[in-house]
Amino acid sequence: MTYYVKDLLNALDDITNGRCLKTSADWSSGKNPFVVSKTSNIPGKAITELPGLVWGDPEKEIKKIAVIMTLTESAIELAGGTGVDAIVTHHPVAEATNSGGVLFNVYLNLYNLALFELHEAFHGLHPGIPWLHGHKPYYTNIAVGGIQGCVVNVGEVLPEISNVGDLIDRLNLLINRAEDEKVLEMERQIRNCPELEETSIKVGAKIYLGKRENPVKHIAHIHPHTGFNVKHLEQLLAEHPKIDTILASISRVYPGHELIAKAEELGLNFICGNSHAMEIFENGVPLAQAIQNHLPEAEVVIFRERMASIPLTAIGSPEIRAYGQNIAGTYLKRK
């Protein structure tokens, strides 16, 4: 069977229950609540999400589709090198920012790639992230305080969860942390660099308040990067007084943050769950499977990003380090 870019758009529209843009009027009318502009008020750095087809010819034939979290030049290069026809990225894209400083019409056309984005249009469609974190929501709000994308779930733990330790162990099992630990240790040995760090290990599930044996029954599942704050927490606790545990995932907070202080004041457990680096499992895998279900004869692959930290003194070969020293010392200084 032959599939086209327009078939993938229709599939994504069906997956999101009609949240994708089909015509220019869909975004210019202001009627689609998932066309969201985001800005920190830095001139020229705002972004507007356009759920659906961002770049590409709707009539172009596609055989291979890559699902990713965040578009980068590395992803574009991998797509070109592995015969991908269309990229579906969860996070919103911006020209140059997500394409190595290059314009989409140059870079994506060079490799004949179509590009889609979803993000807020995909949020709130499934209970997978709460399930992974061991609870079943009985309250969900995807716009806490009127902030689109400020998602919170309040849930009761699954039958197999009784304490804080159960939550941590469940997450580590589901994301296969043990395998990632082995990969990291092997890389450290191969590169002879014990200082090497990797995101999924360095920011794994962690207990900030409470002990492993502390009982857990009702969880407030928050995502700090969405703008969730202490006032939102106080309101949530007033509406759901049975909450005994605060669980932050995707993004997290660190010791000294006001959310942790408020939880400590109230005698609550505070746990950080999966980091943003694990969202490829939480949202990417279900999205990829849904695409496969709709377009069963297409090849669907997942691009998993892996970010490592390596000391400058250990990066690459001795020759490339010498190159860096020579270039920096000769050219990269005020003349």
- Evaluate whether residue 329 is within a structural domain: no
Q: How confident is the model at residue 29, as a pLDDT? A: 75
152: pLDDT strictly greater than 90 = yes
Considering the domain architecture, whether residues 134 and 62 belong to the same structural domain is answered as no
25, 140: one domain = no
Distance CA(301)–CA(304), nearest Å, equals 10
- Closest C-alpha among 98, 2, 101, 100 to residue 54: 98
Task: Report strand pairing: 3-4 vs 61-62.
Answer: antiparallel
Instruction: Clarify whether residues 85 and 201 are in a common domain.
Output: no
Same domain, 114 and 133: no
Contact 278, 176 (CB under 8 A): no
Band the pLDDT of 26: cuts 50, 70, 90.
confident
Task: Tell me, yes or no, whether 214 and 229 share the same domain.
Answer: yes
Q: Are residues 245 and 160 in the same domain?
A: yes
Do 133 and 257 fall into the same domain? yes
- pLDDT at residue 199, rounded to an integer: 94
Question: What's the confidence (pLDDT) of residue 282?
Answer: 94
Answer yes or no: is 173 within a domain: yes
Given 278, 310, 325, the domain boundary residue is: 278
Residue-level pLDDT at 257: 96
Query: The domain containing residue 42 runs over which residues?
Result: 3-122
Residue 213 lies in a domain: yes
Phi/psi for 37 (5° steps) reads -95, 135
232 and 217 share a domain? yes
Same domain, 88 and 141: no
- Residue 259's pLDDT is 97
185 Cβ contact list (under 8 Å, min separation 6)? none
pLDDT given at position 147: 86
Which residues pair with residue 139 across a beta bridge? 154
122, 149, 178 - which closes a domain: 122
Q: Which amino acid is at 36?
A: V
Q: pLDDT class for 142, splitting at 50, 70, 90?
A: confident
pLDDT at 35: 92
Using the 3D structure, point to which of 261, 278, 295 is the last residue of a domain.
278
Q: Is residue 299 part of a domain?
A: no
CATH assignment of the domain containing 195:
3.40.1390.30
**Structural domain tally of the chain?**
2
Q: What is the mean pLDDT of residues 268-280?
A: 95
DSSP labels, 198-209? EHHHHT--EEEE
Q: Is residue 331 part of a domain?
A: no
Provide the pLDDT for residue 165.
97
Give 46-84 pLDDT, tens digit per residue: 999 999 999 999 999 999 999 999 999 999 999 999 999
Residue 295 located in a structural domain: no
Please report which confidence band the pLDDT of residue 22 belongs to, taking 50, 70 and 90 as the band edges. Answer: confident
- Residue 327 covered by a domain: no
Is the residue at 158 inside a domain?
A: yes
- The answer for residues whose C-beta is within 8 angstroms of residue 12's C-beta and 6 or more apart is 20, 51, 52, 88, 116, 118, 291
Q: How far apart are CA 191 and CA 154, in angstroms?
A: 44
What's the pLDDT score for residue 149?
79
Residue type, 100: G
Q: Which of 220, 225, 227 is nearest to 147 (CA)?
A: 227
Same domain, 72 and 16: yes
Query: For residue 6, what pLDDT is reported?
Result: 97
Whole-model pTM?
A: 0.91
Structure letter (DSSP) for residue 150: -
Closest among 250, 202, 256 to 227, alpha carbons compared: 250
Q: Are residues 113 and 255 in the same domain?
A: no
What's the pLDDT band for 160 if we cut at 50, 70, 90?
A: very high
Q: Mind listing the pLDDT tens digit for each residue in 188-236?
A: 999 999 999 999 999 999 999 999 999 999 999 999 999 999 999 999 9
Alpha-carbon torsion (320, 322, 327, 333), positive or negative: positive
The rounded distance, in Å, linking the Cα atoms of 236 and 259 is 13
25, pLDDT greater than 90: no
Residues 6+ apart with CB under 8 A from 240: 139, 154, 218, 220
Which residues 6+ apart lie within 8 Å of 317 measured at CB?
none
pLDDT of residue 335: 86
Same domain, 29 and 55: yes
